[in-house]
Amino acid sequence: MVCRLSTRLLNICITSLCKAWQLEKAEVVLIDGIRLGYLPDVVTYNTLIAAYCRLVGVHEAYTVLRRMREAGINPDVITYNALIAGAARYRLLPLCLDLFEEMLQNDIIPDVWSYNTLMNCFFKSGQPVEANRIFRDMILSNVSPSPTTYNTMIDGLCKAGYSVNALRLFRSLQRHGFLPQLVTYNILINGLCKSGKLGEARMILKELGESGHVPNAITYTSVMRCCFRHGKFEQGFEIFLEMKGKGYTFDSFAYCTVISALAKMGKPKEANDYIEEMLRTGFGLDIVSYNTLINLYCKEGKLETAFQLLYEIEKCGMQSDEYTHTILVDGLCKIGDIDGAQRHLEYMKRMGFESNLVACNCLIHGLCKVGKVDYAMKVFENMELKDSFTYDSLVHGLCKARKFLLASKLLLSCLRKGMKVLSSTKRAVIAGLRSSGLRREAKELRSAIWMARILHW
């Protein structure tokens, strides 16, 4: 009894220290505890493993598992779930699968949490088909799905571009008596908004209103962002005011949405006013908030201030991300500092950021803007991934350089891949071919555009 009480006390201490990010102190308490006869149990080690995953890394957490075994304590399903969640946090899909396999080999039966985490990891890694396979495995293993399972499925489907299937799943669950939670509505509203299905999003929002759930800050932010994206600025700002009135502007999410919208609208003065308001509220800025500010400074051409912020981020120990550097590359391109942009791309590589499609697109656009279209072509040829932004920028650049035949060739290869390009891009190439006396080529391009429209409808 005394021993069990002591272990409980030890666990309470370790849990509090882990929650306060005091991992080193938690380790000291563990060592001192053992010395004083407070014996750790599976909960002690599970707490430490979860904390290592969250604060240090999954490999370091795995060393705790070894120590746990050395202490004669067997891991359980919670131990493995924590490790799988840790691996999923760092998108280490093969490690997630290895851990799942190791769990099975140790005769530990995976539970709904294990499957949910693995499924989510597959979705986050861009593998919706595999995620669905995990869902099926779960059913075959007689593990009952939880509301989180369905929420993960709906969210994953939306993010993978299958919002229609997500809505279908939602409806079929409802028919089988599933009562959607607020989070389910939020996932679906956000997913439908992002895929441009505004009518359906509005319908779900109406159903949410009738469901008895009260829309929260997340619901409001999703809908507000959707309004801004579709040019309904007045409605967007009305939502922001309503959020303020309800006390839903307690974090940076709503502010970042509004500031970015104003930056896009070319209203830096108003955006700066909101920045000041956000800073006055006193909540700490995270990396997305910093990125929003850097983006605004870049849009204003204030690159020095933007880099000063990057310096601040790094100085306070915060990690900059792909967005931070992509925004800076774009900012440099926009002021015509192509050398600076290329240097920053190199810096990104050195920092360990993988090849970044958006940043490369910015460079191509910047090169075309300053008339270096041949160099833009070289960058294009070396790019592994290309999207409609890549083609749009380059085709426009080629038209500007009066290289209409090459522009037409690129445009066609883009259309054949089923990518959508701007109407202005198509018009520029056809008009260019005509003005150069290439009437037959212009006619052929028009037919090809027409065919592509039918094929990829």
Q: What are phi and psi of 34, to 5 degrees?
A: -60, -40
Cα distance between the two ends of the chain? 71
CB of 334 to DNA, least distance (A): 7
Which one of the spans 162-170, 198-206, 290-298, 300-308 is the region binding DNA (CB under 7 A)?
290-298
**Interface with DNA (CB under 7 A), residue from 41, 251, 270, 444:** 251
Strands of 291-359, DSSP E: none
Say if CB 345 and CB 364 are below 8 A apart. Answer: no
Say if CB 323 and CB 289 are below 8 A apart. Answer: no
Report the C-alpha gap between 229 and 231 in whole angstroms.
Answer: 6
Instruction: Please report whether residue 221 would count as binding DNA according to CB under 7 A.
Output: yes
CB of 438 to DNA, least distance (A): 24
What are the tokens at 77? 């399903």
Q: Among residue numbers 48 through 107, which ones bind DNA (CB under 7 A)?
A: 50, 77-78, 81-82, 85
Instruction: Please report whether residue 216 would count as binding DNA according to CB under 7 A.
Output: yes
Q: Among residue numbers 5 through 44, which ones bind DNA (CB under 7 A)?
A: none
**Interface with DNA (CB under 7 A), residue from 44, 47, 163, 342:** 47
Q: Output DSSP code: residue 384.
A: S
Q: Among residue numbers 139 through 158, which ones bind DNA (CB under 7 A)?
A: 146-149, 151-152, 155
> Angle at CA 302, nearest 5°, toward 298 and 307?
75
Q: Among residue numbers 296 through 325, which ones bind DNA (CB under 7 A)?
A: 321-324
**Interface with DNA (CB under 7 A), residue from 248, 274, 307, 380:** 248
**Interface with DNA (CB under 7 A), residue from 95, 239, 421, 429:** 421
CB of 190 to DNA, least distance (A): 4
Q: Which is nearer to DNA, 203 or 218 (CB)?
A: 218
What are the tokens at 179? 């009562």
Q: Which is nearer to DNA, 50 or 445 (CB)?
A: 50
**Interface with DNA (CB under 7 A), residue from 56, 164, 169, 288:** 288
Say if CB 366 and CB 397 are below 8 A apart. Answer: no
Instruction: Please report whether residue 217 would count as binding DNA according to CB under 7 A.
Output: yes
Say if CB 141 and CB 104 are below 8 A apart. Answer: no
CB of 397 to DNA, least distance (A): 9
72, with CB counted inside 10 A (0-12, 13-18, 19+), is: exposed
**Interface with DNA (CB under 7 A), residue from 65, 92, 138, 256:** 256
Nearest to 174 by CA among 138, 199, 204: 204
